[in-house]
Amino acid sequence: MSAETPNLMSVAQLAEHYGRAKKTIQNKLTRGWGPVPVLDPDTGQVLGFRVEEVNRFDQRNQRTHKQYLYD
């Protein structure tokens, strides 16, 4: 791959960030929970998660539904 790989968090780092087991995070990710992963364009495998996307996901999910709609 010739393109430079951005600074990515692994699933293990994501699990540490949220204080959960790696397997728990993997299960949640397969159900659609979590930040958008960076995929390998050739294989479709998850390469990791951009730190900015993790922060955006955290910010979106800290507010209540009412705060999200009316703030």
Q: Residue 56: what pLDDT?
A: 93
Q: Tell me the pLDDT of the chain (71 aa) as tens digits.
A: 445 567 899 999 999 999 999 999 999 999 999 999 999 999 999 999 999 999 999 988 887 778 778 87
Q: Per CATH, is 8-70 categorized as 1.10.10?
A: yes
Q: For residue 49, report the phi and psi dihedrals to the nearest 5 degrees.
A: -130, 130
The predicted structure's pLDDT at residue 15: 95
- Cite the DSSP H helix spans in the chain: 11-18, 22-30, 51-60, 65-70
- The per-residue pLDDT for 64 is 76
Q: Which amino acid is residue 45, in one-letter code?
A: Q
What is the pLDDT, as a whole number, of residue 1?
47
